[in-house]
Amino acid sequence: SQQGEEDPQALSIQEGENATMNCSYKTSINNLQWYRQNSGRGLVHLILIRSNEREKHSGRLRVTLDTSKKSSSLLITASRAADTASYFCATDANDSGGSNYKLTFGKGTLLTVNP
């Protein structure tokens, strides 16, 4: 089952604009991660934010986490055509109350950056 849900499902912007994607999740987490997946390729880890952190930056990426709302956002500033990809959030959550923790991914946001 999917733990995270990204919003929007698809986003189309012009090069140079900022792109914001949101992720909501259901259960308590230790950390939340964002991944990028180019068409036909594997996932690439972008950034990890821990549950006791509220904001984190990496280059043109800014991630926020609001544990009270169980939500996170990924902001990509000054977007480029090469940023075109699907973006997934992933949380490390206990599997249905059992003892197995695993990374659970959302359905992703498809970002298209038009040149």
Length of the chain: 115
Q: Is 66 in the site for other proteins (CB under 8 A)?
A: no
Q: Is 31 in the site for other proteins (CB under 8 A)?
A: yes
Q: Is 34 in the site for other proteins (CB under 8 A)?
A: no
Q: Which is nearer to other proteins, 68 or 100 (CB)?
A: 100
Smallest distance, other proteins to C-beta of residue 52, A = 11
Q: Which residues bind other proteins (CB under 8 A)?
A: 2, 4, 30-31, 35, 40-45, 48, 50, 88, 90, 92, 95, 98, 100-108
